[in-house]
Amino acid sequence: MTPGESLLTAEHLGKRYGDVVALNDVSFGITEGITGILGENGAGKSTAIKIFLGLLQPTSGSATILGQNASQSVGVRARLGYMPEHDCLPSHVSAAEFLTHMAEVTGLPPSTARTRAADTLRHTGLFEERYRAIGGYSTGMKQRVKLGQALVHDPAMVFLDEPTAGLDPIGREEMLALVRKTYREFGISVLLSSHLMADVERTCDRIIVLQAGRLVQSGTVGHFTKETETVFIEVDDNRAGLVAALERRGVAVTVDGSGLTIEGPDESVYDLVRDALVEAQAPLRRMAPRRRALTELFHRPGDDAPAGGAAP
Amino acid sequence: MTTPATPRGGTVFDIGYQRYTGPREGRRRGRLAVFKDGVRTALGLGRGGRAKVLPWFFIVVLSAIALIMALIAGAAERFAGPGASERLNLPSHADFYAIASMIVFVFAAVVAPELLCRDRREGVINLYLVRPLTGSDYIVARWGAFLTVMLAATWLPQIILLIGLAMGDASPVGYLRDNWLDIPRFLAAGLAMAAYITTLAMLTASFTTRRAYASVFLVGLFVISTPFTLGLAQEIGGAAGRWLSMFNLTNIPVHVNDLIFGQVSEITEDAPARELPAAVRVAWYFAWTIIPGGVLWVRFRRLTP
C-alpha cells in the first residue's frame, strides 16, 4: 500500500433490508490517517463498516478494502481490527489471556501472540492490570481492552465504533488520545464511527458524513472549519458605532452576545476592522479568530438538513 | 573483608510500538485457537477452582465406575478362579456405556452450554466473526472441542477398565491377546456416543444464551424421555411401541454400542426398539446425529455480529 492510495473504497454502495434503505449509492475512498464517519443512529455507519468487514453483502455497488473485494475475502480480516460499540468482552478471563487468544484467532503463532498481547496492553495503559479478570475492570479499562483486541494483531486499518461510549470526560480524553496515538505513533489507519462531532473534530483528519443512508459531506476537517472562519471582537464602548463603520466598509457583521462576529474570507478583514475601530473610536478589548466547530456546521439553528456543500 | 555491594540496576528502554512482520497463519490458526479455547473452557483449564469442579467431578465419577468394575472382576478372578468374571456374567467393556450413559448425558448437559452460551451472552462471538473466521469455522471448532472432551470422558474409563481387567487376570498379556478386539469396539462405541451427545447438547445450547436453561432442558430431555417412552412403548406394544421406544434419547447410542459389541446391554434388553433391524437402529442413530448437526451448522453459518 503506497502513501495516498485508498485503503478502502466504496463505489455506488447500496444496502437494503427489505423496504428499508440502509445505504443508497454511497461512494467514497479512504486513505491513510484518521477518518471519522459521522451520522445519527440509523444513518448507515454500522452497515457500511459491516460491508467493509465482509459481514454483509451489498445490495448494489462494490466495497474494496486493502485492494480486495470486501465481500469475497475472509482472509483480508487478518489485516483489519474492529472495536465494537457494545459489550464484547469475557468477564472471567484476564486481559492478557484474552488478547493472546484473540491474536491467535487472527492467525498469529502462540508465542508471538503472547508477546504482542503484553506489548499492546502496555501501549493501551493496562500493563499493570493485565492479569486481573476483565469482569472487575472499570468502563474505561474495558474500552481499552476493546481497543487492544482490535490492535493486537497489528492491523493495517482499524474500525472503531463509538470508542468513547459510556466514558466520563477524563476517560473520553484518554481514549481520544489513544485513537490519535494509534495512527500517529503506531501507523495504523483508523476509521472512527461516531455521532459525537466533537470527538471527530478533535481526532480525525478527514470526515465522511452519512445521513439516512446517503453521503452528504466528505473532506478534511480543516477544510470544513476553514470555510467558516470568523473573527470575534469585543469592545468596551461604542459597539453600535463600530457596527456602522464595519457595514460602511462592506463587512458582514453580527452581534454575538457581548461581542461582534465578522465573517472573514481572508486576512484582509483585519485591516478593515482596524480602520473601523479608529473611525468609531471604540476601545478594543479582545479580537481573535474563531473557527466554528463541526457541531455548528451540521446543526445550524432552524436548519433541518446539514449545511455545507454536496459531497464530491 | 567484605566488598561493598554494588547496586543492581538496569535500564528500561521504551522501544515504542513495533509493527508485526512475522507469519500470519490465517483461518487454520484461528480455528485451532477456538478449538483449544473450547477444550480449556470445557475442562476449566486455566480458570479458577469453581470452573474445574463440575467437569472433573464427572470424569472422576466415570473413571471410578470403571475402576470399581475392574476391581470386582479382579476379585472374582482371584477368589473364584480364572474365568470367573465371564461365568458370573460380570459387566465389562460392552456394558460400560450402558451403565454410565446417564452420567455422560448429564456431564454433556452441564458442560457443553458453557462453550456456546457465554460467547453469545457476553458478545465475544462478535469479535470472532470479524476475524478471519466464519460462523462455520467457529461452530465446527467448538463442536470439535467438545467432542474431544467427550471422547476423553468416554474413552478414559474404558482404558482404566481395560488396564484393570488385564492386571486382575493371571496372565495380563494373555488377557490382552484374547480380548484385543474390545479396544477398537470401545473406541468406536465411545466415538458414536460422544458424537451423538455432543451434537444434541451443542444444538440445545445454540438456542439460548443462558447456560442454566440449556442444562436443565437437556437433563430433562434425557431423564424424562427414558421412563416416558419405555412405559408407553411397552403399554402400546407392536410396531408402534417399537418405534415409540426409538425416541428414548438415552438408548439411541446404546443400541449402536450393542451392535458394535454384538450383545445386548442391560438397559436396552427391555426396550422394544431392540427388535427393530440393526440397519434401522443405525440409520436412526445417524439421523439423530446428522440432522441436529446440520441445524446447528445452519444456525451459525450466516451469523453476523
Give residue A275's domain range.
229-290
Residue B173 lies in a domain: yes
Residue B58 lies in a domain: yes
The answer to whether the beta carbons of residues A133 and A93 sit under 8 Å apart is: yes
pTM of the model: 0.84
Residue B118 lies in a domain: yes
- From chain A, pick out residues whose CB is under 8 angstroms from the CB of B34: 105
DSSP B22-72: S---HHHHHHHHHHHHHHHHHHTTTS-HHHHHHHHHHHHHHHHHHHHHHHH
Residue A273 lies in a domain: yes
Q: Tens digit of pLDDT for each residue in A180-209?
A: 999 999 999 999 998 888 888 889 999 998
In angstroms, rounded to a whole number, what is the distance separating the alpha carbons of residues A299 and A106? 41
Give residue B75's domain range.
26-222
Residue B279 lies in a domain: no
Distances (CA, A) of A160 to A81, A175, A191, A260, B110: 8, 11, 6, 39, 37
The C-alpha cell at A186 is 503506531
CB pairs under 8 A between A and B: 105
User: Are A23 and A65 found together in one domain?
Assistant: yes
Residue A311 lies in a domain: no
Residue A251 lies in a domain: yes
> Among A1-5, A37-41, A267-271, A279-283, whose mean pLDDT is lowest?
A1-5
User: Are A215 and A234 found together in one domain?
Assistant: no
In angstroms, rounded to a whole number, what is the distance separating the alpha carbons of residues B146 and B128? 18
Q: What is the pLDDT of residue A56?
A: 87
Residues 6+ apart with CB under 8 A from A311: A28, A215, A216, A217, A218
User: Are A179 and A246 found together in one domain?
Assistant: no
Q: Is B263 on the interface with A (CB under 8 A)?
A: no
Number of domains within chain B:
1
CB contact under 8 A, A89 and B29: no
Q: Tens digit of pLDDT for each residue in A203-248?
A: 999 999 888 899 988 888 877 766 566 788 899 888 889 999 998 9
Residue B6 lies in a domain: no
Q: What is the pLDDT of residue B256?
A: 94
Range among A76-80, A262-266, B3-7 with highest mean pLDDT value: A76-80
List the single best residue of B127, B129, B136, B138 to mutate versus A (max A Cβ within 10 A): B127
List the single best residue of B14, B19, B29 to mutate versus A (max A Cβ within 10 A): B29
User: Are A206 and A274 found together in one domain?
Assistant: no
User: Are A171 and A43 found together in one domain?
Assistant: yes
Number of domains within chain A:
2
List the single best residue of A73, A80, A88, A185 to mutate versus B (max B Cβ within 10 A): A88
| Residue A300 pLDDT greater than 60, yes or no | no
Residue A66 lies in a domain: yes
Residues 6+ apart with CB under 8 A from B215: B109, B110, B113
User: Are A185 and A95 found together in one domain?
Assistant: yes
Q: What is the pLDDT of residue B76?
A: 86
Q: Is A106 on the interface with B (CB under 8 A)?
A: yes
Q: Provide ipTM, 2 decimals.
A: 0.86
CB contact under 8 A, A55 and B304: yes
Which positions 70-99 of A are in contact with B (Cβ < 8 Å)? Answer: 74-78, 80, 82, 84, 86-93, 97
CB contact under 8 A, B126 and A88: yes
User: Are A132 and A187 found together in one domain?
Assistant: yes
Task: Tell me which of A169, A194, A219 is where a domain ends.
Answer: A219
Task: Tell me which of A219, A246, A274 is where a domain ends.
Answer: A219
User: Are A148 and A23 found together in one domain?
Assistant: yes
Q: Which of A77, A97, A149 sits opposite B132 (nearest CB)?
A: A77
CATH, residue A47 = 3.40.50.300
User: Are A215 and A240 found together in one domain?
Assistant: no
The C-alpha cell at B136 is 462455520
Q: What is the pLDDT of residue A304?
A: 47
User: Are A215 and A273 found together in one domain?
Assistant: no
Residue B120 lies in a domain: yes
Q: Tens digit of pLDDT for each residue in B49-99?
A: 888 999 999 999 999 999 999 999 888 877 877 777 777 778 888 899 988
Residue A100 lies in a domain: yes
- From chain A, pick out residues whose CB is under 8 angstroms from the CB of B16: 185
Q: What is the pLDDT of residue A296?
A: 60
Residue B37 lies in a domain: yes
Q: Greatest CA span in chain A, whole angstroms?
A: 76
Residue A309 lies in a domain: no
Minimal CA separation from A52 to chain B, in Å: 10
Question: Which residue in this structure is represented by grid cell 483486541?
Answer: A149
Chain B residue nearest residue A124, CA to CA: B17
Residue B303: Cβ within 10 Å count: 18
In angstroms, rounded to a whole number, what is the distance separating the alpha carbons of residues B150 and B38? 12
- From chain B, pick out residues whose CB is under 8 angstroms from the CB of A86: 123, 126
Question: Which residue in this structure is represented by grid cell 466554528?
Answer: A292
CB contact under 8 A, B122 and A87: yes
User: Are A18 and A92 found together in one domain?
Assistant: yes
- From chain A, pick out residues whose CB is under 8 angstroms from the CB of B305: 50, 55, 84
Q: Is B19 on the interface with A (CB under 8 A)?
A: yes
Residue A61 lies in a domain: yes
Residue A244 lies in a domain: yes
User: Are A167 and A255 found together in one domain?
Assistant: no
Residue B92 lies in a domain: yes
> Among B77-91, B152-166, B188-202, whose mean pLDDT is lowest?
B77-91
